[in-house]
């Protein structure tokens, strides 16, 4: 949600009034953020010139300034007929000092490093690379922005709403007199995503205009805000629980109605069980017993034909919790291996730069191990360079031999491998050969069966492959009889889906003590994704998706790994780990996995839903869809009727019921769309979580945008109940 305004042309008297109002607004916003009188905030509000860098020949000075909402950064454009540009601090993923971005490394000299910094945006928006006049000034920009962003993130739900509406009121106040006329009031309604009839606006206005002055000011605006944000559904629920005292009891504490609303808006009262927000699962089981968040073609920011490759793509995937990243390696010039999508027009990055980025960001979100999946097309000479880079950059964190002194008989656990890097790739011999040289041939037979050629692999690189040796798949029986536990196969989505549908239990048993990686078909040149759920149902650990493409499939992936501290590792259900299990997600015979539940969901209301179009009069007609993912018998969809012209506080009060037979594999997804009877609905927000992580009762559901980022203040209010089916 943003209320961004361009500085209008004003008369001298209006400018004086505006400056006085602006100072007052700034003080209020600074106080809300806990930054009243803060020097770094004052520095940002004053603004300053920065050198904007786009290429070696495009470096231009631009004036940047934080606006009085303490949330919007404004930059002056030098182009004729080009409006000055703004962006919200909510859109910033990170601010990094120094020449850390690819652009600054490529287009600037090392001497300017202390004066450089980059603003990294969420989604696919390009970085903003900047150079300050001094190291001190660069530091103030970085520290100031980080401080304000932290302040915004620390606001609770109610404070975010107040901050947003307050600044929308500022935008509606066209003559900047601190008052609201009836026309300005209607503009405000449009800004906050409500389209109402003139009669209703007039009724609201008259109700608040106690002074009969023809405009609202001071306490009258506060009263209007109270009317605007009043939630009738909370009154009804509160009255059900409160008794004659007018208070309700929780433990030994009495809650007023305002306190009850604050309680419902607290993060721990949201729909996600707060106990699942941290690592709560057993992390000491073998690696094959866990789902692992996995990325495909991690280096790409866009499509697979001509899109850019970037170290930033690795950073984003790792910060999202991916624990398996892919590196497509090819011979580069001057003896340096490069990464790109071979035989296409995608750009190239140096292999060593990718490894440096992985090393720096691997464990910022999760401490559990990261697997580097190598798709190796390099000559033996450049493979040796690859091995040198990984050894020197990753250092002792790179696992190059099994844990312990003896030949292992199974996988170590994520706990055993904390902050370690594992290499997935080809290996010249069996791991057993390390302990008994005569036990393993020089080359694996299965690598020579078809080609009759010796595997061209550098020993230095081969020796780095320990627990994730890549081999061809020749059937479950062959794998059981001839493959060691550490020998794993990768499956194209079509092959994997056929196995998951036609040989589900065989696939499940295979995945109990061996690893499987599933990857998108080569025909997905647009970097689209597939539904990961059937492969999780079959016990596949590494279900690799294109993280650069945000879609429903990625939202489901985000929901799967939302829990367990967002560690990127989720323990598979016991029936996918037990060697005696007869579980089959397709036939669904009786067994401990069958725990028939009935899920009751009442979609009550929505709060502060964002616009899907920037136009003032473009108001959403929100519709809510509730989806259940899981085994085929559990898949279901239910949808509310749309609410016309109200994205601010829509009410549905519709109830749905779902039968869930295998709750440990199920996920629940809430989707909000802007209804359109003439064309496809437009996405507004969504939230996905595991069925077993649902909190029952009255709950707020936060919403993520299409990039997977949290929408401030936006959400749904629902009632959830799970009971044993009769």
Q: Which residues have a Cβ under 8 Å from the Cβ of 580 and sit 6 or more positions away?
A: none
Residue 341's φ and ψ, nearest 5 degrees, are -85, 105
Query: Does the pLDDT value for residue 5 go beyond 70?
Result: no
Average pLDDT score, the chain: 91
CATH number of the domain that 62 lies in?
Answer: 2.30.29.30
Per-residue pLDDT band at 84 (split at 50, 70, 90): low
Tokens of 380: 């033996």
Q: Residues 438, 301: one domain? A: yes
Least confident interval from 73-87, 191-205, 555-569: 73-87
Q: Residues 260, 306: one domain? A: no
Q: Residues 166, 131: one domain? A: no
Burial class of residue 236 in the structure, from the number of CB atoms within 10 Å of its CB (0-12 exposed, 13-18 middle, 19+ buried): exposed
- Cα separation, 224 vs 226, in Å, equals 5
Q: Which residues have a Cβ under 8 Å from the Cβ of 36 and sit 6 or more positions away?
A: 27, 30
Q: Residues 305, 239: one domain? A: no
CATH number of the domain that 197 lies in?
Answer: 1.10.238.10
Q: Which residues have a Cβ under 8 Å from the Cβ of 70 and sit 6 or more positions away?
A: 26, 29, 30, 32, 33, 35, 41, 45, 148, 151, 152
- Cα separation, 159 vs 150, in Å, equals 14
Burial class of residue 152 in the structure, from the number of CB atoms within 10 Å of its CB (0-12 exposed, 13-18 middle, 19+ buried): buried
Q: Residues 488, 553: one domain? A: yes
Binding residues for substrate: 52-79, 424, 426, 490, 517
pLDDT (tens digit per residue) in 499-528 = 999 999 999 999 999 999 999 999 999 999
- Cα separation, 590 vs 583, in Å, equals 8
Q: Residues 555, 673: one domain? A: no
Q: Residues 401, 499: one domain? A: yes
Provide the pairing of β-strand 290-295 with 569-571.
antiparallel
Is 592 domain-assigned?
Answer: no
**In the prediction, which pLDDT does 34 show?**
93
**In the prediction, which pLDDT does 244 show?**
53
Is 279 domain-assigned?
Answer: no
Q: Give the DSSP letter of residue 89.
A: G
Q: What would you measure as the largest C-alpha separation in the chain, in angstroms?
A: 98
pLDDT (tens digit per residue) in 23-55 = 888 998 999 999 999 999 999 999 999 999 999
Query: Does the pLDDT value for residue 567 go beyond 90?
Result: yes
Least confident interval from 157-171, 345-359, 688-702: 157-171
Per-residue pLDDT band at 451 (split at 50, 70, 90): very low
- Cα separation, 400 vs 462, in Å, equals 10
Region 432-447 average pLDDT: 62
284-309 residues labelled b (16+ CB within 10 A) or e (exposed): ebbbbbbbbbbbbbbbbbbbbeebbb
Q: Which of 93, 123, 154 is the last residue of a domain?
A: 154
Query: Does the pLDDT value for residue 291 go beyond 70?
Result: yes
Region 366-382 average pLDDT: 98
Q: Residues 27, 114: one domain? A: yes
Residue 600's φ and ψ, nearest 5 degrees, are -105, 125
CATH number of the domain that 650 lies in?
Answer: 2.60.40.150
Is 424 domain-assigned?
Answer: yes
- Cα separation, 242 vs 257, in Å, equals 9
In this predicted model, which residue has the larger pLDDT, 247 or 686? 686
- Cα separation, 40 vs 145, in Å, equals 8
Q: Give the DSSP letter of residue 425.
A: E
DSSP output for 4-54: --PPPP--HHHHHHHHHHHHHHHHHHHHHTT-TT-HHHHHHHH-EEEEEES
Per-residue pLDDT band at 124 (split at 50, 70, 90): confident
Least confident interval from 256-265, 640-649, 685-694: 256-265
Binding residues for Ca(2+): 297, 326, 328, 375, 619, 621, 645, 674, 676
Q: Give the DSSP letter of residue 579.
A: T
Is 144 domain-assigned?
Answer: yes
Least confident interval from 175-189, 244-258, 346-360: 244-258
Region 558-576 average pLDDT: 98
Please tell me whether residue 569 adopts helix, strand or coil conformation.
strand
Q: Which of 99, 123, 154 is the last residue of a domain?
A: 154
Please tell me whether residue 79 adopts helix, strand or coil conformation.
coil
- Cα separation, 128 vs 143, in Å, equals 16
Is 687 domain-assigned?
Answer: yes
Query: Does the pLDDT value for residue 644 go beyond 50?
Result: yes
- DSSP β-bridge partners for residue 646: 194
Asked if residue 512 lies in contact with residue 576, where contact means CB atoms within 8 angstroms, the answer is yes
Q: Residues 103, 53: one domain? A: yes
Q: What is the 3-state secondary structure (H, E, C) of 101-150?
A: CHHHHHHCCHHHHHHEEEEEECCCCCCEEEECCCHHHHHHHHHHHHHHHH
pLDDT (tens digit per residue) in 482-499 = 999 999 999 999 999 999
Asked if residue 648 lies in contact with residue 622, where contact means CB atoms within 8 angstroms, the answer is no
Please tell me whether residue 462 adopts helix, strand or coil conformation.
helix
The most confident of the ranges 10-24, 161-175, 666-680 is: 666-680
Tokens of 700: 């707020």
Tokens of 724: 């044993």
Please tell me whether residue 724 adopts helix, strand or coil conformation.
strand
561-577 residues labelled b (16+ CB within 10 A) or e (exposed): bbbbbbbbbbbbbebbb
Q: Within a 10 A sphere around the Cβ of 26, how many other Cβ atoms?
A: 19
Domain that holds residue 228: 158-269
Domain count of the fold of the chain: 4
Is 511 domain-assigned?
Answer: yes
Candidates 190, 289, 296, 510; catalytic one: 296
Please tell me whether residue 634 adopts helix, strand or coil conformation.
helix
Query: Does the pLDDT value for residue 113 go beyond 70?
Result: yes
Q: Residues 129, 55: one domain? A: yes
Asked if residue 532 lies in contact with residue 560, where contact means CB atoms within 8 angstroms, the answer is yes
- Cα separation, 360 vs 363, in Å, equals 8
Per the document, the length of the chain is: 726
Query: Does the pLDDT value for residue 668 go beyond 80?
Result: yes
Per-residue pLDDT band at 448 (split at 50, 70, 90): very low
**In the prediction, which pLDDT does 202 show?**
87
- Cα separation, 278 vs 287, in Å, equals 19
- Cα separation, 187 vs 172, in Å, equals 6
Name the packing angle between helices 182-191 and 198-208 (round to 10°).
Answer: 110
Q: Which of 269, 302, 336 is the last residue of a domain?
A: 269
**In the prediction, which pLDDT does 214 show?**
92
Provide the pairing of β-strand 465-470 with 487-492.
parallel
H or E element: which one contains 689? strand 682-690
Q: Residues 244, 212: one domain? A: yes
Candidates 190, 289, 341, 700; catalytic one: 341
Q: Is 276 a catalytic residue?
A: no
Asked if residue 569 lies in contact with residue 283, where contact means CB atoms within 8 angstroms, the answer is yes
What percentage of the chain exceeds 90 in pLDDT?
Answer: 74
CATH number of the domain that 309 lies in?
Answer: 3.20.20.190
DSSP output for 244-309: TTS-EEETTEEE-HHHHHHHHHSGGGBSB-GGGSS--S---S-GGGEEEEEESSTTBSS-TTTPPB
Name the packing angle between helices 39-46 and 135-154 (round to 10°).
Answer: 110
- Cα separation, 60 vs 64, in Å, equals 12
Tokens of 705: 């945008």
Q: Is 223 a catalytic residue?
A: no
Q: Give the DSSP letter of residue 347.
A: -
Query: Does the pLDDT value for residue 409 go beyond 90?
Result: yes
Angle at 29 between CA 28 and CA 33, to 5 degrees: 120
What percentage of the chain exceeds 70 in pLDDT?
Answer: 93
Is 278 domain-assigned?
Answer: no
**In the prediction, which pLDDT does 663 show?**
98
pLDDT (tens digit per residue) in 265-281 = 888 889 999 999 999 99
Q: Residues 125, 86: one domain? A: yes
Q: Which residues have a Cβ under 8 Å from the Cβ of 128 and sit 6 or more positions away?
A: 52, 118, 119, 121
Is 421 domain-assigned?
Answer: yes
Tokens of 175: 């003559």
- Cα separation, 695 vs 715, in Å, equals 16
Least confident interval from 216-225, 338-347, 573-582: 216-225
């Amino acid at each position: 949600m943003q209320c961004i305004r361009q500085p209008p042309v004003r008369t001298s008297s209006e400018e004086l009034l505006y400056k006085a109002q602006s100072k007052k607004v700034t003080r209020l916003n600074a106080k809300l953020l806990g930054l009243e009188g803060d020097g770094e905030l004052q520095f940002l509000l004053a603004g300053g010139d920065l050198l904007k860098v786009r290429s070696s020949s495009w470096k231009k000075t631009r004036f940047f300034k934080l606006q009085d909402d303490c949330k919007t950064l404004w930059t002056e454009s030098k182009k004729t007929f080009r409006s000055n540009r703004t962006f919200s601090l909510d859109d910033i993923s990170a601010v990094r000092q120094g020449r850390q971005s690819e652009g600054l490394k490529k287009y600037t000299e090392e001497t300017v490093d202390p004066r450089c910094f980059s603003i990294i945006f969420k989604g696919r928006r390009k970085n903003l690379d900047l150079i300050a006049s001094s190291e001190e000034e660069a530091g103030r920009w970085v520290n100031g922005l980080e401080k304000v962003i932290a302040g915004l993130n620390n606001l609770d739900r109610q404070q975010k709403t107040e901050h947003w509406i307050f600044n929308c009121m500022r935008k509606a106040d066209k003559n900047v007199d601190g008052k609201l006329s009836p026309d300005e009031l209607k503009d405000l309604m449009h800004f906050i995503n409500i389209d109402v009839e003139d009669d209703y606006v007039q009724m609201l206005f008259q109700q608040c205009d106690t002074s009969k002055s023809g405009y609202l000011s001071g306490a009258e605006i506060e009263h209007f805000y109270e009317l605007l944000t009043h939630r009738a559904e909370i009154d009804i629920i509160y009255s059900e629980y409160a008794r004659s005292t007018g208070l309700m009891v929780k433990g030994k504490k009495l809650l007023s109605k305002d306190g009850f609303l604050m309680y419902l808006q607290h993060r721990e009262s949201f729909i996600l069980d707060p106990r699942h927000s941290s690592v709560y699962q057993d992390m000491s089981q073998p690696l094959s017993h866990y789902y692992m968040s996995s990325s495909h073609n991690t280096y790409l920011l866009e499509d697979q034909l001509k899109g850019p490759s970037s170290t930033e793509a690795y950073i984003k995937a790792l910060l999202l919790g991916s624990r398996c990243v892919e590196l497509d390696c090819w011979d580069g010039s001057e003896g340096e291996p490069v990464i790109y999508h071979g035989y296409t027009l995608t750009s190239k990055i140096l292999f060593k730069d990718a490894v440096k980025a992985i090393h720096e960001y691997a464990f910022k979100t999760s401490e559990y191990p990261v697997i580097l999946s190598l798709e190796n097309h390099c000559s033996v000479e450049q493979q040796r360079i690859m091995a040198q880079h990984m050894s020197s950059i990753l250092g002792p964190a790179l696992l190059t031999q099994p844990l312990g002194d003896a030949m292992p008989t199974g996988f170590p656990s994520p706990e055993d491998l904390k902050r370690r890097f594992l290499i997935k790739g080809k290996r010249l011999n069996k791991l057993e050969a390390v302990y008994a040289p005569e036990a393993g041939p020089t080359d694996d037979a299965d690598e020579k069966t078809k080609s009759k050629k010796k595997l061209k692999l550098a020993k230095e690189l081969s020796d780095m492959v320990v627990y994730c040796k890549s081999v061809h798949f020749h059937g479950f029986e062959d794998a059981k009889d001839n493959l060691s536990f550490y020998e794993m196969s990768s499956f194209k989505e079509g092959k994997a889906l056929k196995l998951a549908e036609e040989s589900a239990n065989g696939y499940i048993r295979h995945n109990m003590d061996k690893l499987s990686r599933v990857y998108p078909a080569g025909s997905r040149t647009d970097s689209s994704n597939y539904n990961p759920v059937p492969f999780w149902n079959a016990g596949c650990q590494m279900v690799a998706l294109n993280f650069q493409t945000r879609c429903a499939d990625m939202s489901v992936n985000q929901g799967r790994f939302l829990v367990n501290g967002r560690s990127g590792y989720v323990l598979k259900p016991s029936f996918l780990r037990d060697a005696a299990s007869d579980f089959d997600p397709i036939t669904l015979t009786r067994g401990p996995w069958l725990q028939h539940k009935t899920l009751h969901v009442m979609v009550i209301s929505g709060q502060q839903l964002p616009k899907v179009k920037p136009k003032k009069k473009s108001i959403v007609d929100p519709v809510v869809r509730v989806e259940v993912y899981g085994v085929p018998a559990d898949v279901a969809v239910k949808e509310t009727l749309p609410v016309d012209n109200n994205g601010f506080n829509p009410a549905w009060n519709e109830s749905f019921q779902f039968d869930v037979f295998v709750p440990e594999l199920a996920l629940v997804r809430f989707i909000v769309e802007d209804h359109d009877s003439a064309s496809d609905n437009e996405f507004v927000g969504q939230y996905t979580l595991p069925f077993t992580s649902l909190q029952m009762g009255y709950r707020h559901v936060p919403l993520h945008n299409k990039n997977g980022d949290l929408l401030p203040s936006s959400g749904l209010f629902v009632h959830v109940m799970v009971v044993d089916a009769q």
